[in-house]
């Protein structure tokens, strides 16, 4: 595990949770319900939630009767998630670049652009390898990523948000290979503002096809939004890929 990576510090910050997760619960639950309706998993199906954060999506899946395991690199997030653990819901601190349970799960999920954070191509391939190896033959993997082409055309360069008395000043930019987002946090309880910079790789459908194929994941379906609309390279806000382990 690389020390000093931006995501380890930012993901462990309470401000990360405050900025991203208080407002998106309804949309997330709606998408997951729709996804389960599309996939039609069997009762008690085994599922892996990769980069699960505090476990809200894992809990949603477990509430539907599935056996769900969530993994995340953030110790603080998993500490919170463990408070809701039960015999059908399990959480572990784990780096997705390293193997986790071989030929075990029927389904694996990576929700809401929880990918593309690492420094090298090899690390990203290793993360896909972890997911592919965790699946049983015939198992299904769902990747939910931003649509690079749409994000490039709709980039909001600056905006501010005030949440529960905390001010977030957000600046976005891009280059040929990555999207960047600088978040400055101003909170009266802090001695000085905090600053975090996110960096997400620009992975296209072709890039994912290469990574998936290398690890014996075959793309079955591609959607462009949380309502399962057709994927349009310029118009779709999301890139949702359903693949099968062959």
In a domain, 142, yes or no: yes
SS3 assignment, position 91: strand
Whether 120 and 88 share a structural domain: yes
- pLDDT the model gives residue 17: 79
**CA-angle at 55, arms to 50 and 58, nearest 5°:** 70
Query: Across residues 148-168, what is the average pLDDT?
Result: 95
What average pLDDT does the segment 14-41 reach?
83
* pLDDT for the residue 19: 86
Residue 125, domain member (yes or no): yes
CATH code at 69? 3.40.50.150
Q: Domain for residue 171, yes or no? A: yes
Q: How many domains does the chain have?
A: 2
What per-residue confidence (pLDDT) applies to 5?
Answer: 80
Is 76 within a domain? Answer: yes
Q: What share of residues in the chain are helix, strand, coil (percent, to 5)? A: 30, 35, 35
| 23 & 84 share domain | yes
Confidence of residue 131 (pLDDT cuts 50, 70, 90): very high
Residue 1 falls within a domain, yes or no? no
Q: What are phi and psi of 5, to 5 degrees?
A: -65, 145
pLDDT given at position 60: 92
Beta strands, E only, 36-177: 46-50, 67-72, 89-93, 105-110, 135-146, 158-163, 166-174
Would you say residue 160 lies in a domain? yes
In a domain, 223, yes or no: yes
Say if residue 184 is in the same domain as residue 230: no
Q: Is the pTM of this model over 0.85?
A: yes
Check residue 1 and give its pLDDT.
36
Shared domain for 61 and 165, answered yes or no, is no
Q: What percent of the chain has pLDDT over 90?
A: 83
Q: Tell me, what's the pLDDT at 25? A: 67
Write out the residue range of the structural domain in which residue 113 sits.
6-147+204-245
Task: Let me know whether 85 and 189 are in one domain.
Answer: no
71 in a domain, yes or no?
yes
Confidence of residue 2 (pLDDT cuts 50, 70, 90): very low
Per-residue pLDDT tens for 176-214?
999 999 999 999 999 999 999 999 999 999 999 999 999
Whether the pLDDT of residue 4 is over 60: the answer is no
Average pLDDT over the chain reads: 93
> Does the pLDDT of residue 155 top 70, yes or no?
yes
pLDDT interval class at 3 (50, 70, 90): very low
Average pLDDT over every residue of 119-140: 97
**57 plus 128 within the same structural domain:** yes
> Is pLDDT of 157 > 60?
yes
221, pLDDT greater than 80: yes
Domain shared by 23 and 134, yes or no: yes
Same domain, 71 and 101: yes
- For residue 233, give the nearest of 243, 242, 221, 223 by alpha carbon: 223
95 lies in the same domain as 159: no
Both 167 and 75 in one domain: the answer is no
Mapping DSSP onto H, E and C, the string for 49-65 reads EECCCCCHHHHHHHCCC
pLDDT digits (tens, 9 = 90+) for 63-114: 999 999 999 998 988 999 999 999 999 999 999 999 999 999 999 999 989 9
Mark whether 106 and 192 lie in a shared domain. no
Q: Assess whether 136 and 176 both reside in one domain.
A: no
């Amino acid at each position: 595990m690389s020390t000093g990576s931006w995501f380890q510090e930012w993901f462990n910050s309470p401000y990360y949770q405050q900025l991203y997760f208080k407002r998106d619960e309804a949309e997330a639950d709606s998408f997951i319900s729709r996804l389960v309706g599309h996939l039609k998993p069997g009762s008690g199906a085994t599922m892996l939630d990769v980069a699960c954060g505090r476990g809200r999506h894992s809990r949603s899946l477990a509430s539907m009767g599935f056996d769900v395991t969530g993994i995340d690199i953030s110790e603080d997030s998993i500490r919170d998630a463990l408070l809701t653990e039960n015999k059908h819901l399990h959480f572990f601190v784990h780096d997705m670049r390293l193997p986790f349970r071989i030929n075990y799960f029927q389904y694996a999920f990576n929700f809401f652009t929880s990918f593309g954070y690492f420094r090298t191509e090899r690390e990203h391939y290793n993360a896909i390898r972890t997911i592919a190896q965790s699946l049983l033959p015939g198992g299904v993997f769902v990747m939910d990523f931003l649509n690079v082409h749409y994000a490039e055309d709709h980039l909001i360069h600056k905006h501010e948000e005030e949440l529960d008395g905390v001010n977030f000043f957000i600046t976005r930019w891009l280059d040929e290979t990555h999207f960047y987002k600088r978040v400055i946090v101003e909170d009266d309880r802090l001695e000085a503002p905090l600053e975090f910079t996110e960096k997400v790789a620009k992975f296209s459908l072709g890039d994912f096809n290469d990574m998936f194929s290398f690890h014996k994941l075959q793309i079955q379906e591609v959607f462009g939004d949380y309502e399962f609309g057709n994927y349009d390279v310029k118009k779709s806000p999301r890139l949702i890929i359903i693949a099968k382990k062959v």
